[in-house]
Structure 1
Amino acid sequence: MFRSFDKAARASTPQWRRIAGIAAMACASLWLAGCAGVRTIDSDVQSYSTLQQVPAPPTYRLQLLPSQVALGPQFDTVVQQAEASLAGVGLRRDDSQGSVIAQIDVQARYIPDSWLLPGSPYNPYGGFGWGPGWGWGWRGGMVWRDTGPSLHYRAVQLTLRDVQTQQVVYETSARYEDVWVDDQVIYRILFDSALNGFPKPPQGPRRVSTTLGAPASAQPASTPAAAAAASNPATPAAKPK
Protein backbone atom coordinates (compact mmCIF):
# COMPACT_ATOMS: atom_id res chain seq x y z
CA MET A 1 0.00 0.00 0.00
CA PHE A 2 2.80 2.39 0.89
CA ARG A 3 4.60 1.57 -2.33
CA SER A 4 1.53 2.34 -4.43
CA PHE A 5 1.05 5.60 -2.51
CA ASP A 6 4.64 6.66 -3.30
CA LYS A 7 4.06 5.92 -6.98
CA ALA A 8 0.92 8.04 -6.98
CA ALA A 9 2.74 10.90 -5.25
CA ARG A 10 5.59 10.77 -7.74
CA ALA A 11 3.12 10.68 -10.62
CA SER A 12 1.31 13.76 -9.31
CA THR A 13 4.50 15.80 -8.78
CA PRO A 14 5.02 16.77 -12.46
CA GLN A 15 1.37 17.83 -12.66
CA TRP A 16 1.78 20.20 -9.72
CA ARG A 17 4.94 21.57 -11.26
CA ARG A 18 3.10 22.27 -14.49
CA ILE A 19 0.31 24.01 -12.59
CA ALA A 20 2.84 26.09 -10.64
CA GLY A 21 4.62 27.02 -13.86
CA ILE A 22 1.39 28.09 -15.53
CA ALA A 23 0.45 30.18 -12.49
CA ALA A 24 3.86 31.86 -12.48
CA MET A 25 3.57 32.72 -16.18
CA ALA A 26 0.06 34.09 -15.63
CA CYS A 27 1.30 36.34 -12.80
CA ALA A 28 4.19 37.56 -14.96
CA SER A 29 1.79 38.34 -17.82
CA LEU A 30 -0.48 40.33 -15.51
CA TRP A 31 2.50 42.28 -14.16
CA LEU A 32 3.76 43.10 -17.66
CA ALA A 33 0.27 44.10 -18.74
CA GLY A 34 0.07 46.49 -15.81
CA CYS A 35 3.42 48.05 -16.70
CA ALA A 36 2.38 48.48 -20.33
CA GLY A 37 -1.04 49.87 -19.49
CA VAL A 38 -2.19 53.45 -19.71
CA ARG A 39 -1.60 55.96 -16.93
CA THR A 40 -3.54 59.16 -16.28
CA ILE A 41 -1.57 62.19 -15.14
CA ASP A 42 -3.65 64.88 -13.42
CA SER A 43 -2.27 68.42 -13.39
CA ASP A 44 -3.72 71.26 -11.34
CA VAL A 45 -3.50 74.32 -13.59
CA GLN A 46 -4.01 78.06 -13.15
CA SER A 47 -3.94 80.35 -16.18
CA TYR A 48 -4.49 84.07 -16.74
CA SER A 49 -4.28 85.72 -20.14
CA THR A 50 -4.92 89.08 -21.76
CA LEU A 51 -4.14 87.71 -25.23
CA GLN A 52 -6.87 87.56 -27.84
CA GLN A 53 -4.77 85.68 -30.35
CA VAL A 54 -1.32 84.18 -30.82
CA PRO A 55 1.33 86.95 -30.72
CA ALA A 56 2.50 88.24 -34.10
CA PRO A 57 5.05 87.27 -35.07
CA PRO A 58 4.65 84.00 -33.10
CA THR A 59 8.13 84.18 -31.60
CA TYR A 60 9.52 84.50 -28.09
CA ARG A 61 12.80 85.28 -26.41
CA LEU A 62 13.65 82.95 -23.55
CA GLN A 63 15.01 84.81 -20.53
CA LEU A 64 16.75 82.60 -17.97
CA LEU A 65 17.74 83.64 -14.46
CA PRO A 66 21.44 83.50 -13.48
CA SER A 67 20.65 80.67 -11.06
CA GLN A 68 19.05 78.69 -13.89
CA VAL A 69 22.00 79.25 -16.20
CA ALA A 70 24.33 78.09 -13.43
CA LEU A 71 22.57 74.71 -13.36
CA GLY A 72 23.89 74.02 -16.84
CA PRO A 73 22.84 70.70 -18.44
CA GLN A 74 20.59 69.92 -15.49
CA PHE A 75 18.28 72.79 -16.45
CA ASP A 76 18.81 72.38 -20.19
CA THR A 77 16.46 69.39 -20.10
CA VAL A 78 13.74 71.56 -18.57
CA VAL A 79 14.32 74.21 -21.25
CA GLN A 80 13.92 71.60 -23.97
CA GLN A 81 10.62 70.43 -22.50
CA ALA A 82 9.34 74.03 -22.31
CA GLU A 83 10.44 74.77 -25.88
CA ALA A 84 8.66 71.67 -27.17
CA SER A 85 5.43 72.63 -25.40
CA LEU A 86 5.62 76.23 -26.66
CA ALA A 87 6.19 74.94 -30.18
CA GLY A 88 3.09 72.82 -29.74
CA VAL A 89 0.96 75.98 -29.40
CA GLY A 90 2.64 77.69 -32.35
CA LEU A 91 5.38 79.72 -30.64
CA ARG A 92 8.94 79.57 -31.94
CA ARG A 93 12.05 80.60 -30.01
CA ASP A 94 13.88 83.60 -31.45
CA ASP A 95 16.12 85.28 -28.90
CA SER A 96 16.96 88.15 -31.26
CA GLN A 97 13.49 89.12 -32.53
CA GLY A 98 10.96 87.58 -30.18
CA SER A 99 7.66 89.43 -29.83
CA VAL A 100 7.27 88.22 -26.23
CA ILE A 101 9.70 87.38 -23.45
CA ALA A 102 9.24 83.93 -21.93
CA GLN A 103 10.32 83.07 -18.39
CA ILE A 104 10.03 79.59 -16.89
CA ASP A 105 10.49 78.07 -13.47
CA VAL A 106 10.19 74.57 -12.01
CA GLN A 107 9.97 73.05 -8.56
CA ALA A 108 10.69 69.51 -7.39
CA ARG A 109 10.46 68.02 -3.92
CA TYR A 110 8.98 65.28 -1.78
CA ILE A 111 5.89 66.04 0.25
CA PRO A 112 4.61 64.21 3.33
CA ASP A 113 1.79 61.78 2.64
CA SER A 114 -1.31 61.21 4.74
CA TRP A 115 0.62 58.83 6.98
CA LEU A 116 1.48 61.89 9.10
CA LEU A 117 -2.15 62.81 9.67
CA PRO A 118 -3.94 61.83 12.91
CA GLY A 119 -6.01 58.69 12.54
CA SER A 120 -4.01 57.29 9.63
CA PRO A 121 -2.76 53.72 10.10
CA TYR A 122 0.61 55.01 8.94
CA ASN A 123 0.94 57.89 11.40
CA PRO A 124 3.80 57.62 13.94
CA TYR A 125 1.43 56.31 16.65
CA GLY A 126 -0.98 54.38 14.43
CA GLY A 127 0.70 51.06 15.16
CA PHE A 128 1.23 51.56 18.90
CA GLY A 129 -1.37 51.21 21.60
CA TRP A 130 -2.15 50.02 25.09
CA GLY A 131 -5.30 48.25 26.25
CA PRO A 132 -6.74 47.05 29.57
CA GLY A 133 -6.73 43.33 30.43
CA TRP A 134 -8.85 41.14 32.63
CA GLY A 135 -7.91 40.76 36.30
CA TRP A 136 -5.37 42.71 38.21
CA GLY A 137 -3.00 45.11 36.45
CA TRP A 138 -3.01 45.93 32.77
CA ARG A 139 -1.69 44.54 29.53
CA GLY A 140 -0.45 46.24 26.43
CA GLY A 141 0.60 45.50 22.89
CA MET A 142 2.95 47.18 20.47
CA VAL A 143 3.09 46.83 16.69
CA TRP A 144 5.45 48.64 14.31
CA ARG A 145 4.25 49.58 10.85
CA ASP A 146 5.95 50.97 7.80
CA THR A 147 5.34 54.57 6.82
CA GLY A 148 3.10 55.40 3.89
CA PRO A 149 4.36 56.03 0.36
CA SER A 150 6.16 59.29 -0.39
CA LEU A 151 4.50 61.72 -2.76
CA HIS A 152 6.47 63.52 -5.46
CA TYR A 153 5.70 67.19 -6.06
CA ARG A 154 6.52 68.72 -9.43
CA ALA A 155 5.45 72.17 -10.62
CA VAL A 156 6.14 74.50 -13.54
CA GLN A 157 5.43 78.17 -14.09
CA LEU A 158 5.53 80.13 -17.34
CA THR A 159 5.01 83.82 -18.05
CA LEU A 160 4.97 85.73 -21.32
CA ARG A 161 5.73 89.45 -21.31
CA ASP A 162 5.17 91.82 -24.22
CA VAL A 163 8.58 92.90 -25.48
CA GLN A 164 7.40 96.47 -26.16
CA THR A 165 5.34 97.26 -23.07
CA GLN A 166 7.01 94.78 -20.68
CA GLN A 167 3.53 93.89 -19.43
CA VAL A 168 2.72 90.28 -18.56
CA VAL A 169 0.23 89.03 -21.15
CA TYR A 170 0.17 85.36 -20.16
CA GLU A 171 0.71 83.71 -16.79
CA THR A 172 0.21 80.01 -16.15
CA SER A 173 1.31 77.27 -13.78
CA ALA A 174 0.74 73.55 -13.37
CA ARG A 175 1.52 71.14 -10.56
CA TYR A 176 1.54 67.39 -10.03
CA GLU A 177 1.46 65.29 -6.86
CA ASP A 178 1.66 61.49 -6.98
CA VAL A 179 3.70 58.47 -5.94
CA TRP A 180 4.89 57.88 -9.53
CA VAL A 181 7.36 60.21 -11.20
CA ASP A 182 9.53 60.38 -14.30
CA ASP A 183 10.87 63.92 -14.55
CA GLN A 184 11.40 63.96 -18.30
CA VAL A 185 7.82 62.81 -18.84
CA ILE A 186 6.20 64.83 -16.05
CA TYR A 187 7.77 68.19 -16.90
CA ARG A 188 6.70 67.91 -20.54
CA ILE A 189 3.16 67.04 -19.47
CA LEU A 190 3.12 69.92 -16.99
CA PHE A 191 4.22 72.46 -19.60
CA ASP A 192 1.66 71.06 -22.06
CA SER A 193 -1.05 71.28 -19.40
CA ALA A 194 -0.02 74.81 -18.41
CA LEU A 195 -0.41 75.88 -22.05
CA ASN A 196 -3.69 74.03 -22.54
CA GLY A 197 -6.15 76.42 -24.20
CA PHE A 198 -3.49 78.94 -25.28
CA PRO A 199 -3.90 81.82 -26.06
CA LYS A 200 -7.35 82.08 -24.42
CA PRO A 201 -7.50 79.45 -21.68
CA PRO A 202 -10.21 79.19 -19.02
CA GLN A 203 -9.33 81.75 -16.37
CA GLY A 204 -8.46 80.52 -12.90
CA PRO A 205 -7.86 77.02 -11.53
CA ARG A 206 -8.79 73.85 -13.39
CA ARG A 207 -7.62 70.27 -13.78
CA VAL A 208 -6.02 68.93 -16.95
CA SER A 209 -5.75 65.16 -17.41
CA THR A 210 -3.27 63.52 -19.78
CA THR A 211 -3.30 59.81 -20.59
CA LEU A 212 0.05 58.10 -21.14
CA GLY A 213 -0.02 55.18 -23.51
CA ALA A 214 -3.07 56.52 -25.34
CA PRO A 215 -3.13 56.91 -29.15
CA ALA A 216 -1.06 59.80 -30.47
CA SER A 217 -4.23 61.62 -31.52
CA ALA A 218 -5.41 61.86 -27.90
CA GLN A 219 -5.13 65.39 -26.51
CA PRO A 220 -5.02 66.54 -22.87
CA ALA A 221 -8.53 67.11 -21.58
CA SER A 222 -9.26 69.98 -19.26
CA THR A 223 -12.10 70.11 -16.79
CA PRO A 224 -13.19 73.10 -14.72
CA ALA A 225 -12.09 73.00 -11.10
CA ALA A 226 -15.70 72.77 -9.98
CA ALA A 227 -16.30 69.65 -12.07
CA ALA A 228 -13.06 68.13 -10.86
CA ALA A 229 -14.06 68.79 -7.29
CA ALA A 230 -17.31 66.94 -7.84
CA SER A 231 -15.52 63.72 -8.76
CA ASN A 232 -12.27 64.20 -6.85
CA PRO A 233 -11.34 65.60 -3.45
CA ALA A 234 -10.63 69.31 -3.68
CA THR A 235 -6.95 70.15 -3.89
CA PRO A 236 -5.37 73.60 -3.71
CA ALA A 237 -4.52 75.03 -7.10
CA ALA A 238 -0.92 75.89 -7.87
CA LYS A 239 0.00 79.46 -7.02
CA PRO A 240 2.58 81.31 -9.08
CA LYS A 241 5.55 82.49 -7.07
Structure 2
Amino acid sequence: MLIRSIGAVFTGALALSASAVSAPVAHATETGVIIQKLSVNGGKPIVLGTSQTESFTISVTASDDSGISKDLAFLGIDREVGNDYWSYHGTPKCTAVNATTSTCTLTFKLDSGWGVPRNTLAGKWDVTVQLQSKDGDFYNNGGATKHSVLRRSTLSVNAAPEPVAKGKPITVTGKLARANWDKRVYAGYTNQPVKLQFRKAGTTTYKTVKTVNTNSTGNLSTKVTAAADGYWRWSFAGTSTTPAVNAAGDYVDMR
Protein backbone atom coordinates (compact mmCIF):
# COMPACT_ATOMS: atom_id res chain seq x y z
CA MET A 1 0.00 0.00 0.00
CA LEU A 2 1.33 3.44 -0.88
CA ILE A 3 2.01 5.41 2.28
CA ARG A 4 1.30 9.09 1.83
CA SER A 5 2.29 11.48 4.58
CA ILE A 6 1.54 15.17 4.48
CA GLY A 7 3.52 18.01 6.00
CA ALA A 8 2.57 21.09 7.94
CA VAL A 9 1.04 24.17 6.44
CA PHE A 10 0.52 27.50 8.20
CA THR A 11 -0.93 31.00 7.75
CA GLY A 12 -4.22 30.04 6.21
CA ALA A 13 -2.99 27.04 4.26
CA LEU A 14 -4.77 23.72 4.36
CA ALA A 15 -3.02 20.43 5.10
CA LEU A 16 -4.78 17.34 3.75
CA SER A 17 -3.76 13.77 3.11
CA ALA A 18 -3.11 12.80 -0.49
CA SER A 19 -6.21 10.63 -0.46
CA ALA A 20 -8.29 13.73 0.23
CA VAL A 21 -6.76 16.21 -2.16
CA SER A 22 -5.29 15.97 -5.61
CA ALA A 23 -2.38 18.13 -6.67
CA PRO A 24 -3.30 20.58 -9.43
CA VAL A 25 -2.99 19.20 -12.93
CA ALA A 26 -0.68 21.10 -15.26
CA HIS A 27 -2.42 22.69 -18.23
CA ALA A 28 -0.66 22.69 -21.57
CA THR A 29 -2.86 25.46 -23.02
CA GLU A 30 -1.40 28.89 -23.70
CA THR A 31 -1.73 31.41 -20.89
CA GLY A 32 -1.10 35.09 -20.51
CA VAL A 33 0.11 34.75 -16.92
CA ILE A 34 3.80 35.61 -16.60
CA ILE A 35 5.87 34.55 -13.59
CA GLN A 36 8.26 37.40 -12.82
CA LYS A 37 9.86 35.94 -9.72
CA LEU A 38 9.63 32.72 -7.72
CA SER A 39 11.39 32.52 -4.36
CA VAL A 40 11.59 29.41 -2.18
CA ASN A 41 13.10 30.02 1.26
CA GLY A 42 14.89 33.10 -0.04
CA GLY A 43 16.82 31.01 -2.56
CA LYS A 44 18.49 28.88 0.11
CA PRO A 45 17.92 25.13 0.61
CA ILE A 46 15.18 24.27 3.09
CA VAL A 47 17.04 22.72 6.01
CA LEU A 48 14.95 20.86 8.58
CA GLY A 49 16.12 19.51 11.92
CA THR A 50 14.08 17.50 14.41
CA SER A 51 12.16 20.24 16.22
CA GLN A 52 8.73 21.69 15.53
CA THR A 53 9.98 25.28 15.15
CA GLU A 54 11.08 25.08 11.52
CA SER A 55 9.53 27.43 8.96
CA PHE A 56 10.02 28.55 5.37
CA THR A 57 8.24 30.67 2.77
CA ILE A 58 7.33 30.31 -0.89
CA SER A 59 6.60 33.54 -2.74
CA VAL A 60 5.71 34.19 -6.38
CA THR A 61 5.22 37.47 -8.25
CA ALA A 62 3.13 37.15 -11.39
CA SER A 63 1.41 39.41 -13.90
CA ASP A 64 -1.33 39.34 -16.52
CA ASP A 65 -2.97 42.07 -18.60
CA SER A 66 -6.16 41.59 -16.62
CA GLY A 67 -4.46 41.17 -13.24
CA ILE A 68 -4.02 38.11 -11.01
CA SER A 69 -7.07 36.59 -9.32
CA LYS A 70 -7.04 35.20 -5.80
CA ASP A 71 -9.16 32.30 -7.00
CA LEU A 72 -7.42 28.91 -7.45
CA ALA A 73 -4.09 30.25 -6.15
CA PHE A 74 -2.00 27.34 -4.88
CA LEU A 75 1.61 26.95 -3.75
CA GLY A 76 3.27 23.74 -2.66
CA ILE A 77 6.43 21.67 -2.45
CA ASP A 78 6.43 17.88 -2.41
CA ARG A 79 8.42 14.73 -3.13
CA GLU A 80 7.65 11.06 -3.67
CA VAL A 81 10.24 8.29 -3.34
CA GLY A 82 8.98 4.72 -3.48
CA ASN A 83 6.17 4.42 -0.96
CA ASP A 84 7.04 7.65 0.84
CA TYR A 85 5.35 10.94 -0.04
CA TRP A 86 5.31 14.29 1.71
CA SER A 87 3.81 17.65 0.84
CA TYR A 88 3.71 21.17 2.24
CA HIS A 89 1.01 23.06 0.36
CA GLY A 90 -1.89 25.47 0.61
CA THR A 91 -3.56 28.69 -0.45
CA PRO A 92 -1.26 31.73 -0.45
CA LYS A 93 -2.12 35.31 0.40
CA CYS A 94 -2.07 37.35 -2.81
CA THR A 95 -1.43 41.09 -2.65
CA ALA A 96 -1.73 43.37 -5.68
CA VAL A 97 1.40 45.30 -6.57
CA ASN A 98 -0.48 47.20 -9.28
CA ALA A 99 -3.36 46.58 -11.70
CA THR A 100 -1.54 43.78 -13.55
CA THR A 101 0.83 42.29 -10.98
CA SER A 102 0.42 40.48 -7.67
CA THR A 103 2.69 38.76 -5.17
CA CYS A 104 1.38 35.57 -3.58
CA THR A 105 3.09 34.33 -0.42
CA LEU A 106 2.68 31.29 1.80
CA THR A 107 4.63 30.55 4.99
CA PHE A 108 4.90 26.96 6.18
CA LYS A 109 5.49 26.22 9.85
CA LEU A 110 5.98 22.80 11.36
CA ASP A 111 3.89 22.01 14.40
CA SER A 112 3.31 19.05 16.70
CA GLY A 113 0.55 17.75 14.45
CA TRP A 114 2.70 17.28 11.37
CA GLY A 115 6.46 17.61 11.72
CA VAL A 116 9.25 16.57 9.38
CA PRO A 117 9.21 14.12 6.44
CA ARG A 118 10.92 10.74 6.13
CA ASN A 119 14.68 10.39 5.69
CA THR A 120 14.20 8.92 2.20
CA LEU A 121 12.69 12.19 1.00
CA ALA A 122 15.73 14.43 1.53
CA GLY A 123 16.92 15.92 -1.76
CA LYS A 124 15.26 17.75 -4.66
CA TRP A 125 11.55 18.50 -4.21
CA ASP A 126 8.99 19.66 -6.79
CA VAL A 127 7.68 23.21 -6.36
CA THR A 128 4.16 23.71 -7.69
CA VAL A 129 2.77 27.15 -8.62
CA GLN A 130 -0.85 27.50 -9.69
CA LEU A 131 -2.42 30.86 -10.49
CA GLN A 132 -5.33 32.28 -12.47
CA SER A 133 -5.75 35.67 -14.10
CA LYS A 134 -8.88 37.75 -13.65
CA ASP A 135 -9.91 37.01 -17.23
CA GLY A 136 -9.59 33.26 -16.70
CA ASP A 137 -6.10 32.44 -17.94
CA PHE A 138 -4.77 29.49 -15.94
CA TYR A 139 -1.12 28.87 -15.05
CA ASN A 140 0.42 25.75 -13.54
CA ASN A 141 4.11 24.91 -13.70
CA GLY A 142 3.38 21.23 -13.08
CA GLY A 143 6.04 21.00 -10.37
CA ALA A 144 8.79 21.71 -12.90
CA THR A 145 10.78 23.87 -10.47
CA LYS A 146 13.08 21.94 -8.12
CA HIS A 147 14.31 22.95 -4.68
CA SER A 148 16.45 21.15 -2.08
CA VAL A 149 14.99 20.01 1.25
CA LEU A 150 17.84 18.78 3.44
CA ARG A 151 18.52 17.12 6.80
CA ARG A 152 20.21 19.60 9.15
CA SER A 153 23.85 18.82 10.01
CA THR A 154 25.93 19.57 13.12
CA LEU A 155 29.68 19.47 13.56
CA SER A 156 31.75 19.75 16.75
CA VAL A 157 35.49 20.13 17.40
CA ASN A 158 37.91 19.84 20.28
CA ALA A 159 41.68 20.37 20.04
CA ALA A 160 43.85 19.30 22.98
CA PRO A 161 45.97 19.75 24.95
CA GLU A 162 45.56 23.47 25.57
CA PRO A 163 48.11 25.05 25.85
CA VAL A 164 50.64 22.98 23.94
CA ALA A 165 54.42 23.18 23.49
CA LYS A 166 55.73 23.99 20.02
CA GLY A 167 56.42 20.85 18.01
CA LYS A 168 54.28 18.67 20.25
CA PRO A 169 51.25 16.71 18.99
CA ILE A 170 47.69 18.00 19.15
CA THR A 171 44.74 15.63 19.01
CA VAL A 172 41.73 17.10 17.19
CA THR A 173 38.42 15.30 17.66
CA GLY A 174 34.83 16.02 16.71
CA LYS A 175 31.57 14.57 15.47
CA LEU A 176 29.50 15.02 12.33
CA ALA A 177 25.80 14.36 12.87
CA ARG A 178 22.58 15.03 10.99
CA ALA A 179 18.89 15.00 11.68
CA ASN A 180 17.22 11.60 11.56
CA TRP A 181 13.71 12.61 10.52
CA ASP A 182 12.34 9.12 11.11
CA LYS A 183 13.32 9.06 14.79
CA ARG A 184 13.53 12.82 15.39
CA VAL A 185 17.04 12.66 16.83
CA TYR A 186 20.50 13.60 15.59
CA ALA A 187 22.68 10.65 14.62
CA GLY A 188 26.30 10.34 13.45
CA TYR A 189 26.85 10.74 9.71
CA THR A 190 29.16 7.84 8.87
CA ASN A 191 31.99 7.44 6.33
CA GLN A 192 32.00 11.09 5.25
CA PRO A 193 35.12 13.08 4.27
CA VAL A 194 35.64 16.08 6.56
CA LYS A 195 38.43 18.63 6.23
CA LEU A 196 40.58 19.61 9.20
CA GLN A 197 41.37 23.31 8.88
CA PHE A 198 43.63 25.75 10.74
CA ARG A 199 43.52 29.54 11.03
CA LYS A 200 46.64 31.16 12.42
CA ALA A 201 46.06 33.76 15.13
CA GLY A 202 45.81 37.23 13.62
CA THR A 203 44.58 36.00 10.23
CA THR A 204 41.09 35.56 8.80
CA THR A 205 41.45 32.56 6.48
CA TYR A 206 41.24 28.87 7.30
CA LYS A 207 43.56 26.53 5.40
CA THR A 208 42.97 22.81 4.97
CA VAL A 209 45.53 20.60 6.71
CA LYS A 210 44.14 17.16 5.89
CA THR A 211 40.93 15.23 5.21
CA VAL A 212 39.61 12.61 7.62
CA ASN A 213 36.64 10.28 7.19
CA THR A 214 34.05 9.92 9.94
CA ASN A 215 33.87 6.49 11.57
CA SER A 216 30.85 4.23 12.09
CA THR A 217 29.39 6.63 14.67
CA GLY A 218 30.21 9.88 12.90
CA ASN A 219 33.24 10.64 15.09
CA LEU A 220 36.47 12.23 13.91
CA SER A 221 39.98 12.05 15.36
CA THR A 222 43.45 12.88 14.11
CA LYS A 223 46.83 14.14 15.31
CA VAL A 224 48.73 17.18 14.09
CA THR A 225 51.88 19.00 15.20
CA ALA A 226 51.67 22.33 16.98
CA ALA A 227 53.39 25.05 14.97
CA ALA A 228 51.60 28.29 15.87
CA ASP A 229 48.82 29.80 17.97
CA GLY A 230 45.47 29.55 16.22
CA TYR A 231 42.07 28.00 15.66
CA TRP A 232 41.29 24.43 14.61
CA ARG A 233 38.01 23.40 13.04
CA TRP A 234 36.35 20.67 11.00
CA SER A 235 34.65 21.59 7.71
CA PHE A 236 32.08 19.40 5.93
CA ALA A 237 31.24 20.17 2.28
CA GLY A 238 27.75 18.63 2.38
CA THR A 239 25.95 16.09 0.20
CA SER A 240 22.77 15.99 -1.88
CA THR A 241 20.76 15.28 1.29
CA THR A 242 22.74 17.16 3.96
CA PRO A 243 23.99 20.77 4.00
CA ALA A 244 27.58 21.92 4.46
CA VAL A 245 28.62 22.88 7.98
CA ASN A 246 31.68 24.26 9.74
CA ALA A 247 32.53 23.71 13.37
CA ALA A 248 33.32 26.78 15.45
CA GLY A 249 37.07 27.21 15.70
CA ASP A 250 38.79 25.87 18.86
CA TYR A 251 41.74 28.05 19.88
CA VAL A 252 45.00 26.41 20.92
CA ASP A 253 47.71 28.49 22.58
CA MET A 254 51.24 27.34 21.83
CA ARG A 255 53.89 27.84 24.50
Interval containing the TM-score (normalised by the shorter chain): under 0.3
Of Structure 1 and Structure 2, the greater strand share is in 2
Q: State the TM-score, normalized to the length of structure 2.
A: 0.24
Of Structure 1 and Structure 2, the greater helix share is in 1
Greater relative CO, 1 or 2 (CA 8 Å, sep 6+)? 1
Q: State the TM-score, normalized to the length of structure 1.
A: 0.25
User: Larger C-alpha radius of gyration, 1 or 2?
Assistant: 1
